[in-house]
Structure formats: structure tokens, C-alpha cells
Amino acid sequence: MPIRLLSSEVASQIAAGEVIERPASVVKELLENSLDAGARSITITIEEAGKKLIEVADDGSGIPSAELELAVTRHATSKLVHSDDLFSISTLGFRGEALASIAAVARVAIASRAVGKPHAWRIEVEGGTIGAVAPAALAAGTTVTIEELYFNTPARRKFLRTEATEWAHCDEAFRRIALAHPEVAFSLTHNGRAQVRVQAGGRRSRVEALLGDAFVLHAAAVDADAGDVRMSGLAVRPAYAAEGPLTQYIFVNGRFVRDRVLSHALREAYRDILHHDRQPAYALWLTLDPRRVDVNVHPQKTEVRFRDSGAIHQFVRHAVERALAANAAEQPAVSAAERLGIAAAQMPPLVATDNLGASGQQRQDANHSNPFTAQRGLMLAAGEPAAFYRQLFGERTAVARTGPARSGRLPSRVCRNGACPPRPTRQSG
Ligand code: ADP
Ligand code: MG
């Protein structure tokens, strides 16, 4: 076959595939846009796991009517001006391709009222064809409505998984962003049912709402800084680390990332104190000068490259090691219980649960079945007496008193060389 140029329609559908892999990618991109626009409150409505509808309404700065068409044009962004800006990115978006990509594979409507304007304007795009800008009714901010994702790319649509799986991806995308930005209120509805509603607040309350009280109760506070690099958040103490899939969240300058340097640093921090069949669990925020990290590594921007990865690795590892060691020496369980105003003796036993259903009471805010979060973390089981809890607290307290003072390692109560104290039975409800 001779070499031919792809039609612009096919080319943009291919490009869209890199950014919009599945409905969850739309959720991520739209939420990032709302955050970049300075939204304080974001409402997300999803139907059929995003295959039918994804709508994100924010109260951010809005898009001027004259720019609505540009917003859905590829490589048009308000966030970068010079190529130098690429090396100091402080916004979540910057590539100017999300809305254009979504518009290439879905029906898109954007209504927006720019700050200070008398009313809102609206634009519709279908399969890449941009309609006229028309007046609309909207009190403030921007509402982006995405319908019938992949309606014009049936092959892509066929690759979507079951509604439960796609929903789990959407929920996880939401969770990453809502955790990263506790200063913003979020509400999430799926198929007409409220899933999550969280007020603006601090990190601790956001983690509690989205990852459960037990996560907070059994975590050590991490707080360290070295010049312009700062890390804070929560790292679950080894005795409470889960066996199942991961609850591992690291945010770099407000962005969820999957980074080998960071996850290796975390594994190292837990290495000598965590039984080999357990996984570290954490929610950590790393902030640093944007010039020290390259986020333009991949279209989806979950990968980053640190300019000085060795120093970052050391910093993160030590920050978490110190937090876990200090926490172990402080009889943490008792103080954690006190913090919540609960007497330790009244507390039900801890159960590593493999089913989110069991955690419903702990997670009223986030009461939904998500295979990602379902099997992670620890939940408080209802009912049984506090013997196991007391045993844990008693032992830990004793070890904390007699154990090595702040040696940089946890005392050896927790699973060493495969020898773990008895664990409660797994709960399957
Ligand atoms: P990027 O975020 O990389 O700039 P997008 O395609 O996601 O690219 O968005 C294009 C432009 O549309 C943004 O740069 C921004 O100016 C505008 N925009 C998109 N969503 C919103 C929103 N919710 N509020 C305000 N402006 C928005
Ligand atoms: Mg964007």
C-alpha cells in the first residue's frame, strides 16, 4: 500500500486514544480542568459507568465565550505560553488536548459563565464538528457534559469492560483527585445514586472520608521538609497494613502519580518492619518546586521524572521511616483512640476485610463497591469483644516502653521473619 496521510478525523481519534483510554480518563481530565479553574466545589454526575453520561459542574473561573471554540481545539490551552513553561508546570493540565480528544470520540457540550460576565455561553461538539456558540443559563463556572462516549468508534466501545469495572475505574479516578484536593468540596452521583459527598476540609478528614476511619486511626503522621521539598500525610503502621491490593496514594504537587522512585522509597521505609505478605498503605503529599519535577512524560501525566531522584528517594524514605518509628514509640494506638474519644476497651477488633460491603458503616461518605478499594485497608468489624484489640495495644505499649528508643526502626512486635502475632479471621461480608 502506498503511504497516505491519515484523514484528520482518524488522526484525531488515534490521538484521543492516548488520552481517553476509558470513561475514567474523561472523569480525570474534566476534574483536573475544574481544579485548574480554581473551583471550590465540583459536582460529578455519571450514568452507566460513564459510557452514557459524564457531567462535571464547577464553580471555577469559567471560559470566556470567545474562547469556547478554542477550548475544544487540539493544542489550545490557557496554561502554557512558552516552551520554557513546560519545565515549571503548576497546573494539572497543560497539553491542551483533553477536551479536543474527548470531542473527537463523544458528544460534548460546554456551558460556561466567565467571572464578571452577565450570562453564560454554550457550545456543542459532535464527533469533532464544532457548533455555534449560543447564550445559555448558568449561574457560575463551567458545566461540561459528555454523552455517548465512543459513539463513533465502535471498536473502542467494544473494548470497554463491564459496567462494574468501568465504574470502579471512574470511582478510582475520582478518589485520587478528591484525596489530592481536600480543600475542594466534591459530590459524586452514579446512576442517580449519591456515592460520595465531601465538604472542603483538611487532609486527615478527607482521608477519613475516602479511605475510612481505620486508615486514619492506624496511621502515623508523616511531616517532613527539607528546603523547598515537603512531605506530609499518613502512613499506616505495619501491624495494620493490609494483605490485599494496594491503598497507596502519593500526590506530587497535587497530582496523583505512579512513580518507581517514590514507591521504592516507600517499600524501603517499610522493609524491615513489614511482613512480606503485607503491603504498605499510605496517602502522602509531596510538594516541591515544579522546576524539580518533569510531569510531561506521558499523555496521561501519572508518571513524573524527578530532576534529582536520588535526593527525593532519600528524603521520602527517611520521612516515612521516622514517622513510623516515632509513632511506634508513642503508644500510638491509645493516643489514636483518645483522639477519637473512644476508650480502647470499647473498640471492636480490627479485621482485614476483603470486601468493601463490610465497611459500609465506616464509609458512609463513600459507600459503594469498588474493586480497587474494596480489598484494601483495614476496617473495624462490628460486634466481637475487644480482646484482640487489647492484646495489640497491650503488647505494643509494653514493647514501646522497653524497646529501643527511636532507633529509626519499629520495635519488633510486628511480623518479623514470618512470625506474626495472631490475626483475626478475615471477614467476608
Ligand atoms: P489543558 O487543560 O491541557 O489546557 P484541555 O483540553 O483540558 O487542555 O482544556 C482546554 C482549555 O479549556 C483549558 O486550557 C482552559 O482554558 C479551558 N477549560 C477547560 N475546562 C475548563 C473549566 N472547567 N473551567 C475553565 N476553563 C476550562
Ligand atoms: Mg485539561
Compute, in angstroms, the gap from residue 131 CA to the centroid of ligand 1. 18
pLDDT of amino acid 169: 97
Both 156 and 274 in one domain: the answer is no
pLDDT of amino acid 401: 28
Which residue range is the domain that position 256 belongs to? Answer: 207-330
pLDDT of amino acid 413: 28
Domain limit, last residue, from 143, 178, 201: 201
* Residue identifier of the C-alpha nearest atom 16 of ligand 1: 78
The pair phi, psi for residue 295, each rounded to 5°, is -100, -5
CATH number at residue 271: 3.30.230.10
Is residue 312 within 8 A of residue 306, CB to CB? The reply is: yes
Sign of CA dihedral 407, 413, 415, 416: positive
CATH number at residue 53: 3.30.565.10
The pair phi, psi for residue 285, each rounded to 5°, is -115, 120
**379 domain-assigned:** yes
The whole-number mean pLDDT for each consecutive block of 10 residues of the chain, a chain of 429 residues, reads 85 79 96 96 98 98 95 84 74 85 94 95 91 96 97 90 97 97 98 97 96 93 94 93 81 94 94 88 95 81 87 96 81 40 32 28 33 30 33 30 29 32 36
Cβ-proximal residues to 206 (8 Å cutoff; 6+ apart), any chain? 178, 179, 182, 198
**415 domain-assigned:** no
* Burial class of 138 by CB neighbour count within 10 A (0 to 12, 13 to 18, 19+): middle
Hey, is 281 helix, strand or coil?
coil
Both 273 and 364 in one domain: the answer is no
pLDDT of amino acid 94: 78
Compute, in angstroms, the gap from residue 280 CA to the centroid of ligand 2. 31
Is residue 47 within 8 A of residue 190, CB to CB? The reply is: yes
**323 domain-assigned:** yes
**140 domain-assigned:** yes
Hey, is 25 helix, strand or coil?
helix
* Residue identifier of the C-alpha nearest atom 19 of ligand 1: 33
Helix (H) or strand (E) holding 392: helix 387-402
DSSP code of 279? Answer: B
Domain limit, last residue, from 305, 330, 355: 330
Torsion of CA 116, 117, 118, 119, to 10 degrees: -130
Q: Which atom of ligand 1 is nearest to the CA of 32?
A: 2
> Rounded to whole angstroms, how far apart are CA atoms 23 and 27?
7
Both 68 and 139 in one domain: the answer is yes
- How many domains does the chain divide into? 3
Both 112 and 147 in one domain: the answer is yes
pLDDT of amino acid 424: 34
* Residue identifier of the C-alpha nearest atom 17 of ligand 1: 71
Q: Which atom of ligand 1 is nearest to the CA of 80?
A: 4
Both 87 and 212 in one domain: the answer is no
Which ligand is closest in space to the CA of residue 75?
A: 1
**378 domain-assigned:** yes
Domain limit, last residue, from 148, 166, 201: 201
Q: Measuring from each residue's beta carbon to the nearest atom of ligand 1, which residues come in under 6 Å?
A: 29, 33-34, 37, 58, 60-63, 71, 77-79, 93-100, 142
